[in-house]
Amino acid sequence: MFVPPEFKVIIDQEKCIRCKACTIQCSFEALSFSDEEGQIIADNNKCVCCQRCMAMCPTKAISVIKNPIVYAPHPTWTEEKRRDIYIQAQTGSAILTGVGSTQSTIPYLFDHLLLDACQVTNPAIDAIREPMELRTYIGRKPRRLEFKSLNEDYELKTEIAPNLLMETPIMIAGMSYGAISLEAHKACAMAAKEQGTFFNSGEGGLHTDQYIYGDHIIVQVASGRFGVHMDYLNVAAAVEIKIGQGAKPGMGGHLPGEKITEPISQTRMIPVGTDALSPAPQHDIYSIEDLSQLIYAIKEATRYEKPVLVKISAVHNSAAIASGIVRGGADAVVIDGFRGSTGAAPKVAEDHIGIPIAAAIAAVDDRLCNEGIRDEASLIASGGIRCAGDIAKAIALGADAVAIGMSVLIAMGCRICKKCYTGRCPWGIATQRPELRKRLNIEIAAKRVSNLLAAWSLELKEILGANGMNSIESLRGNRERLRAVGLDQPTLDVLGVKPAGR
Amino acid sequence: MCGIVGILNELGEVISGKMVIQATNAMEYRYNGLGGGFAGYGIYPEHKEFYALHILFPDRERRNKVEEILLENVKIVHDEKIPIREGSPLSSKYIPWRYFIDPLNTSPENSDDAIIELVMHISSEVKDIAILSSGKNMGVFKATGYPREVADLFKIDEYNAYLWIGHGRYPTNTPGWWGGAHPFNILDWSVVHNGEISSYDTNRRFLQMWGYNCNLLTDTEVIAYVFDLLVRKHGLPLKLAAYAMAPPFWKQIDRLNEKEMKMIKAIRMVYGSALLNGPFSIVVGRSNVMIGMTDRIKLRPLIAAKKGVMSFLSSEESSIRSVCSDPDVIWSPKAGEPVVSTVGGK
């Protein structure tokens, strides 16, 4: 059935020198050279608007535009809904997509929140000139401290469980080797090390080349248990049990066999070319008690030297679930909101399952505070964090830190063409094809990610200074520094934020 | 802008309220007439073993309600109207009353917590009253007005105390009302405060976990509660509690010796939500100690002085010199560093 293409490639034949570079660059085979016509021709149906051809064309002869073809307008049957139906009527299958929800009608709550600033009565602090502290410790803290008194001197009596020291409250979210290339994986680890923070390995194991960055890596134990062995657990700074992710709550993962190359097979401990299936649940966790057992099994295996994090997707009952996780022994809870990204997820999950991260963080923080157990674990927010403003708002709502994934890939050069699951990433990020992987320069990618972390850290300091504070812990849960615009009263109540002007 | 004053006699000998009135009045340009107050320690020697509740009532009906609650929970040893100077322009607003109470059925080690619970309970049950103080052998007197007007109303010049605290207010972030004036008190902790606590909501949320309800619409209450929690409940030495409220920067901590570093790092990790962030200078009184402190980059002024057995703290040197023209030593304390004076020099 005829489905109009989404994009249209326009080639300026006068500018084109017929070098055919674009035909090699386009990993989706949308461009080819026609000997008959003596010119480059485009198959618009194959174009995903990755911008690779535009970037690489030496004479800048190519432009890609959104196909202006008009679907007869209808507010219910949007272009996107109609396109999905045409495709599903053809395939009889779920629609797979990459990146994250394209749902635009559900409000992005961070965009409805505004931060405060000082005027007159409370001096703003110049973040460039004055000390501004972003250091954050992730992990369990005792509720109170006890000291031994020795004459006029004191000594700490209380033992503190291992914590992760982050020089900025931004970590890099779990992205597996397999979903992304080794080059992209390495760049993340290098950037995390440079900025004094952490990179989460994702569920695909850890390539031995990455062991040198172990002090800055959190390794994941997910339902597929790929690459989980003693060295993997011991080389890392912390271990995360992944229960779910924001892009596809309640659903598992599927890395197609063609992505399972020799080194990935080694790392994941599965045969070359077999599909890597992550079940929806972990098959040894069917209850909160089971989760607690796994938490302590991992703690035993790592001699109680490493914090154990538990990651869940933000769902309706997150507050109660998080409380159970903290009581189950987790040192940190990672909550991934409904706008979280992924390399591959059913579209129906991305667009329709879960709740926004802002609401989940506020609800979880409230719940843990009311139960008096907020300090027993750290809270990490992730899923659609796009800028320093989002980070400040997440922290003011109650998070200790945030994790960013998509932003990191964008920093490396991702253009959000949403085709990660095809393995054809033309920028060398979400692919295992050697000829495409070569396109990502590890050092440059690492530097760009490091720059992004540095830039957002600087902006966080500016926000703190504008609010007359010089330490990030004074922003944590400080909802008085937030006001909302255009939200209804129940949502304001959930967020614990007043409307602007009040 | 506000002005704060603290005067302590290390021998515990009482001094007339006239001194604190004069030292507070010396900075009148720092006030705008929307709040003034004083706390005196040692003013009730005849009832010193009982908790003294100072309460402001708008009417008789509210007093009856409060007394009902009191009678259910404690023994009222003595009660009376707090004397006021008739004819003072502030005199008709509220009826100030004091109760000397003995908590019933409570072991001595739990009686402080029982009093806090009682104060929180009354404040939430009975609207439009203000419990000004609840410590032993001490009391808070405050109102909306200039400090000299408040002193005149409550006849502060007729009281004698070994520790005096004074405050004049220029409110900018919370409404000016009698209960919102300083000193702010819980048990024998009294706090006067110049500044703004930008971390208020973080502190409030932390204190709530420990059973303190912040409901007086003023950021100063969190300071009193943090002191009470860290020093009385958690047993932190004052010096270490001060590190929680105005900690050194991480860069400084990283350079300390192993033992100190471990200790202060732990304080910041565990009590990060007790950090008072924003510009402040405070004078804090407790039954036998006076503490002066500023935020960790000293965005509000604080001057300290000593003359023999007398210790002075004030927002301004002129205020100290107005009552002590030739101090033995007068200095400007470092940012975040507490100045502690104690009765008996301990």
Residue with tokens 């409404």: B175
Query: Residue B210 belongs to a domain with what CATH number?
Result: 3.60.20.10
pLDDT at B214: 82
Q: By three-state DSSP, how is residue A155 classified? A: strand
- pLDDT interval class at B176 (50, 70, 90): low
Which residue from B236, B257, B272 is spatially nearest to A157, judged by alpha carbons? B236
CA distance B10 to B310: 6
Q: Which domain holds residue B173?
A: 3-342
Average pLDDT estimate for B250-278: 96
Higher pLDDT, B345 or A191: A191
CA distance B208 to B134: 20
In terms of pTM, does the model score above 0.90? Answer: yes
Q: Which two tokens stand for residue A264?
A: 């990935």
Nearest CA of chain A to the CA of B175: how many Å? 14
pLDDT at B173: 65
Give the best residue of B203, B213, B257, B269 to mutate against chain A (max A CB count within 10 A). Answer: B269
Average pLDDT estimate for B176-186: 85
By Cβ distance, the residue of B262, B272, B273 closest to A156 is: B262
The percent of residues above 70 in pLDDT, for chain A, comes to 100
Give the best residue of A119, A151, A156 to mutate against chain B (max B CB count within 10 A). Answer: A156
Q: Which two tokens stand for residue B122?
A: 């009354």
CA distance A314 to A323: 13
A301-339 pLDDT, tens digit each = 999 999 999 999 999 999 999 999 999 999 999 999 999
pLDDT at B216: 59
pLDDT at B102: 94
Give the best residue of B270, B281, B295 to mutate against chain A (max A CB count within 10 A). Answer: B270
Contact list, B206 vs chain A (CB under 8 Å): 477
Our count of domains for chain B comes to: 1
Q: Is a pLDDT exceeding 60 seen at residue A257?
A: yes
Q: Is a pLDDT exceeding 80 seen at residue A90?
A: yes
Q: Which residues of B touch A (CB under 8 A)?
A: 172-173, 195-196, 198-202, 205-206, 208-210, 234-237, 239-240, 249-251, 259, 262-263, 266-273, 275, 277-279, 296-297, 299
- Annotate A68-136 with three-state secondary structure: CCCCCCCCCCCHHHHHHHHHHHHHCCCCEEEECCCCCCCCCHHHHEEECCCCCCCCCCCCCCCCCECCE
Q: Which two tokens stand for residue B96?
A: 């100030």
> Inter-chain contact B205–A477, Cβ cutoff 8 Å?
yes
The interface predicted TM-score of the complex, written ipTM, equals 0.92
A309-319 pLDDT, tens digit each = 999 999 999 99
Listed range (A263-267, B26-30, B130-134, B209-213) with the worst mean pLDDT = B209-213
pLDDT at B175: 65
By Cβ distance, the residue of B198, B259, B262 closest to A122 is: B198
User: What's the length of chain A?
Assistant: 502
Give B171-178 contacts, CB < 8 A, sequence gap 24+: B171/B32, B171/B34, B171/B35, B172/A120, B172/A121, B172/B196, B173/A121, B173/A122, B173/B219, B174/B217, B174/B218, B174/B219, B175/B217, B176/B34, B176/B35, B176/B144, B177/B144, B178/B56, B178/B93, B178/B94, B178/B130, B178/B142, B178/B143, B178/B144
Q: How far is CA B166 from CA A305, B37, B163, B314, in A?
A: 51, 6, 10, 9
Q: How far is CA A419 from CA A176, A179, B177, in A?
A: 16, 12, 62
Which residue from B312, B27, B303 is spatially nearest to B169, judged by alpha carbons? B27
Question: Within 10 Å of residue A320's Cβ, how many Cβ atoms?
Answer: 13
Which residue of chain A is at minimal alpha-carbon distance from B241? A145
B76-132 pLDDT, tens digit each = 999 999 999 988 887 777 899 999 999 987 888 889 999 999 999 998 899 889 999
pLDDT at B345: 63
Angle at B167 between CA B163 and CA B172, to 5 degrees: 155
Higher pLDDT, A68 or A430: A430
> Inter-chain contact A369–B205, Cβ cutoff 8 Å?
yes
> Inter-chain contact B278–A469, Cβ cutoff 8 Å?
yes
- Annotate A266-303 with three-state secondary structure: HHHCCCCCCCEEECCCCCCCCCHHHHHHHHHHHHHHCC
- pLDDT interval class at B179 (50, 70, 90): confident
Average pLDDT estimate for B17-36: 94
Is-contact B137 B48, C-beta < 8 A?
A: yes
CA B313 to chain centre: 14
Pairing of strands A147-150, A153-156: antiparallel
Contact list, B270 vs chain A (CB under 8 Å): 141-145, 158, 160, 375
Q: How far is CA A22 from CA A28, A79, A487, B202, in A?
A: 11, 29, 47, 55
Listed range (A236-240, B146-150, B169-173, B247-251) with the worst mean pLDDT = B169-173
